[in-house]
Amino acid sequence: MNEMTTISREQRPYSEAAKKALSRKPALFINNEWVASSHDATIPVEDPSCGKEVSRIVDASDKDVDRAVAAARAAFDDGRWSNLPPMVRDRTMHRLADLLEAHADEFAELEAIDNGKPKGMAGAVDIPGAISQIRFMAGWASKVGGETTAPYTMPAGTVFSYTVKEPVGVCAQIVPWNFPLLMACLKIAPALAAGCTIVLKPAEQTSLTALRLADLVAEAGFPAGVLNIITGNGHTAGDRMVKHPDVDKVAFTGSTEIGKLINKNATDTMKRVTLELGGKSPVVVMPDVDVAATAPGVAGAIFFNAGQVCVAGSRLYAHRSVFDKVVEGMAETAPFWAPRASLDPEAHMGAIISKEQHDKVMGYIEAGKRDGASVAMGGDAPSGNGYFVNPTILVDVNPQMSVVREEIFGPVVVAQRFDDLDEVAKSANDTAFGLGAGIWTKDVATMHKLAAKIKSGTVWGNCHAMIDTALPFGGYKESGIGREQGKAGIDAYLETKTVIIQL
């Protein structure tokens, strides 16, 4: 751990482009214009690497939300977006992707300042990921369509029946802080391709890249009111969006607790709901692996993005015969993952999003220790003004401990031993969640057998958290409802209409 104590965690100076974005007057993006809020309330924006306030954003009022929803409603109802030739929607989306690409470095820096993640990582993962979501979904604008289907009970030639796919309408989209721009683009891309209109609310901790995206929305040529971006608190602005009678669909990514609340709140008006929620993803290491190659991968499964990943490999199950070596190999990655300020070019792990989340993660580590867990790596926080937590491995844990059962959402993994396949499948499924799972083995048969047993929306083999816009993503059990990405992602923004005409 000596390497960690000698690292300077001073934040680096911001670029001129970042300073300009940070000095933006708090405003909301409605009808392709920057408009003032109906009241004066604002929310501070903090750089988690130094704990300083660096900007302020609007805390949207009910009136602000109503104004944004009215803009999206009008834009949907007069068909200014959905009635355009699909080719035009496709091209407009690609123009937005082009603009994002042209400003990729600025977006990566803003994400690093706002979220605390390393700029290098934002530039390698978040920003290209956001762009590919838009590019892939743009193509669906011209590919969705219905079917002509002969009825089962009616004689041939007596009716003509077909289905059409129609955009679901006005969408309220609410995203979390862990991959702010990527999550926002993951939501807006299928909705835009389907012909829907949108009110997007980023997390109150990380709104900077969504606001900067709004500048590009107008430049790309989207008609006014198609994509409105507001900032504010979830329990006020988010709640208003979810309950608003003029909203047809809610798409939410965030915690299971808030997801359950949103699902209830959307029911009165029978809104369509897609929920991408929390996880406590198992990672299983079989006895046949090459430990030297596997341990860094398993460490990356939890320490990437400081463990603030819905599919973070936070429960490690290593076969008894390799357990000690795997844990030792993971511990050797400590210098690589040592937390640094987000604009430090050597950073692989940055800060935790906020003091509140930092204290929550440290609280879990302390609870684990109190419950009898031993620390095999980390277990503490480095000094400094930022919200850093050292990458942590807890061993000597049991399935009843809170560190094993609950989503910590930080760089903390609990490591357990197992002896056979059925036992580890049972342990892997011993959770309310079902978002992701990793299996590490050279044996293809074992891989398939275990993949079939684990109840999870995605299973990775010899890798972790690989996400691709063409592949459906979502959760079993309390990890969510519905799927995003791939064809399933666009379907979530379409209604099916059946037309039956008697001839």
Alpha-carbon gap, residue 451 to 428, rounded angstroms: 11
**Given the DSSP bridges, would you call strands 272-276 and 480-481 parallel, antiparallel or unpaired?**
antiparallel
Residue 137: C-alpha distances to residues 144, 272, 348, 466 (Å): 11, 20, 30, 18
**58 touches ligand NAP by CB under 6 A:** no
CB of 110 to ligand NAP, least distance (A): 17
Residue nearest to ligand NAP (CB): 234
Alpha-carbon gap, residue 503 to 494, rounded angstroms: 28
**59 touches ligand NAP by CB under 6 A:** no
For residues 446 to 475, the per-residue mask of contacts with ligand NAP, x marking binding by CB under 6 A and - elsewhere, is: -----------------------------x
The Cβ of residue 488 has, within 10 Å, a number of other Cβ atoms equal to: 16
Exposure b/e, 229-240, CB count within 10 A at least 16 = b: bbbbebebbbbb
Nearer to ligand NAP, 86 or 232 (CB): 232
CB of 84 to ligand NAP, least distance (A): 30
Alpha-carbon gap, residue 298 to 221, rounded angstroms: 44
Cβ neighbours for 327, distance < 8 A, ≥ 6 positions apart: 318, 376, 377, 393, 395, 415
**489 touches ligand NAP by CB under 6 A:** no
Nearer to ligand NAP, 392 or 458 (CB): 458
**142 touches ligand NAP by CB under 6 A:** no
Q: Which of 388, 434, 465 is nearest to 5 (CA)?
A: 388
**378 touches ligand NAP by CB under 6 A:** no
DSSP structure class, residue 14: P
Alpha-carbon gap, residue 151 to 297, rounded angstroms: 53
Contacting residue, 48, 195, 234, 489, with ligand NAP by CB under 6 A: 234
Q: In 242-371, which ranges are E strands?
A: 249-253, 272-276, 282-285, 315-319
CB of 456 to ligand NAP, least distance (A): 12
**225 touches ligand NAP by CB under 6 A:** no
**409 touches ligand NAP by CB under 6 A:** yes
Contacting residue, 26, 116, 279, 313, with ligand NAP by CB under 6 A: 279
Helix (H, G, I), strand (E, B) or coil at 270: coil
**269 touches ligand NAP by CB under 6 A:** no
Instruction: Please give the positions annotated as active site.
Output: 276, 310
Alpha-carbon gap, residue 342 to 331, rounded angstroms: 22
Helix (H, G, I), strand (E, B) or coil at 12: coil
Nearer to ligand NAP, 67 or 483 (CB): 483
**302 touches ligand NAP by CB under 6 A:** no
For residues 2 to 21, the per-residue mask of contacts with ligand NAP, x marking binding by CB under 6 A and - elsewhere, is: --------------------
CB of 250 to ligand NAP, least distance (A): 8
| Residues in region 166-185 near ligand NAP by CB under 6 A | 174-178
**Given the DSSP bridges, would you call strands 436-440 and 282-285 parallel, antiparallel or unpaired?**
parallel
CB of 247 to ligand NAP, least distance (A): 12
- Which residues of this chain interact with ligand NAP, rule CB under 6 A? 174-178, 201, 203-204, 233-235, 238-239, 242, 253-255, 258, 261-262, 276-279, 310, 407, 409, 435, 475, 480
